[in-house]
Structure 1
Amino acid sequence: MFRRREAVPFAFVAEADRFRSNVTPPPRERPSRSDLASRSLIGLTMVCGLVGALLLGVPALDSGQAQGHSQKSEASRGH
Structure 2
Amino acid sequence: MTKSFYHFLMKYRHPSPKDAISAFANQAYLDHSFPKNIEDYHEISSYLELNGHYLDSMSVFDEAWELYASSEIV
TM > 0.5 = no
Q: TM-score, normalised by structure 1?
A: 0.20
**TM-score (structure 2 length as normaliser):** 0.22
Name the structure, 1 or 2, with higher relative contact order (CA <8 Å, separation 6+). Answer: 2
